[in-house]
Every structure is written in C-alpha cells, then in structure tokens.
Amino acid sequence: MTFFSEQVGLQNVYTPLPFEIHLVFSVFATVVLLIQFFRKNRVCYLFATLAIDATLITHFAFENKTVILVLEIIELALVAGCIIDIAVAYVKKRKKTEDNKEQEKLLESQQKEREKREEISDKDILDKAFDSELNDLDDSEQ
C-alpha cells in the first residue's frame, strides 16, 4: 500500500492506479482479448481491447477536460459496439438452434414415415407368404 501512497504530483482520478500497474493490466488484457479475437473472430473482443487501451490516455491528459470528454464518448461507442456485437451473435446462434431443431423434427417425421411404410411392407410380405400356401391347399382340395 505504501507504494501507491508515495506518488508525487497530481492524482489521476480516472485511473487511481500508478501508470506502471495500469500499463501491465492493459497489456495483459490486450493479449488475452486479442487471442480471443483471433480464436473466435468476434469484433467485440477488438472493441474491448481498444477501450481498455484508450484508458491509458487518462494518465497523460487527465487535466484536460475536453480530451477526457472525447475519451468518454469513444469509450461509450466502443462499449455500445461490444453490446451490439454480442446481441447480433446471440440472435444468430438462437436462429441457428431453432433451424437445427426444425431440421431434426423434419428428419424424425421422415424417419417415422419410412418406418411406417416398412412396417406395412413387412406385414404385406408376411400376409402374402401365407396366402400362397393357403392357395396351394385350396388348389389341392379341388
């Protein structure tokens, strides 16, 4: 804790951690999120990476209210982009799941129809097999 209190100069109220620790956290988050971006090809990971890295600006311009305001707007836009990307991915996944369920139901109904036809076909074969023997018996009696 004493390390945090030994800072000299003005205190940054936007990121209360020292720059070095903030930088380490930002680099770690950037690496993890970029790995996810390349693994899953989702834009929300790239937006989150940019939003986290943009917070480093606060260490250099925390006295300039205009820069902070622009940064806040950019951060909000990036977070909104993340939310939109997540919502779009959710809708696509849900639609794909519904399509898969419909496809499974269709295949099930087709399978049941085939089984029903085969059942009727098997019954007909059995009936015809005994019909021929009965016909032979009827012929021999005449």
Q: How far apart (Å, rounded) are the C-alpha atoms in residues 34 and 30?
A: 6
For residues 3-10, average pLDDT: 47
Domain span including residue 27: 2-107
Q: What is the pLDDT of residue 129?
A: 63
In a domain, 140, yes or no: no
Q: Estimate the crossing angle of helix 19-40 against helix 43-54, to 10 degrees.
A: 170
Q: Please give the torsion angle defined by the CA atoms of residues 119, 120, 121 and 125, in that order, rounded to the nearest 10 degrees.
A: 100
Is pLDDT of 93 > 80?
yes
In a domain, 45, yes or no: yes
For residues 2-30, average pLDDT: 71
Mean pLDDT of the chain: 80
For residues 76-81, average pLDDT: 94
Q: Residue 41: left if φ>0, alpha if ψ -120 to 50, beta else—which one?
A: left
Q: What is the pLDDT of residue 135?
A: 59
Q: What is the pLDDT of residue 121?
A: 64
Q: What is the pLDDT of residue 56?
A: 86
In a domain, 29, yes or no: yes
Q: How far apart (Å, rounded) are the C-alpha atoms in residues 22 and 32?
A: 15
Q: How far apart (Å, rounded) are the C-alpha atoms in residues 124 and 119?
A: 9
Q: What is the pLDDT of residue 123?
A: 63
Q: How far apart (Å, rounded) are the C-alpha atoms in residues 40 and 94?
A: 17
Q: pLDDT over 90 for what percent of the chain?
A: 37
Digit-coded pLDDT (tens) for 43-71: 999 999 999 988 888 887 777 888 888 98
In the chain, how many domains are there?
1
Is pLDDT of 74 > 80?
yes
Helix (H) or strand (E) holding 46: helix 43-54
In a domain, 137, yes or no: no
In a domain, 98, yes or no: yes
What's the sign of the alpha-carbon dihedral 127, 133, 138, 139? Answer: positive
In a domain, 136, yes or no: no
In a domain, 116, yes or no: no
In a domain, 135, yes or no: no
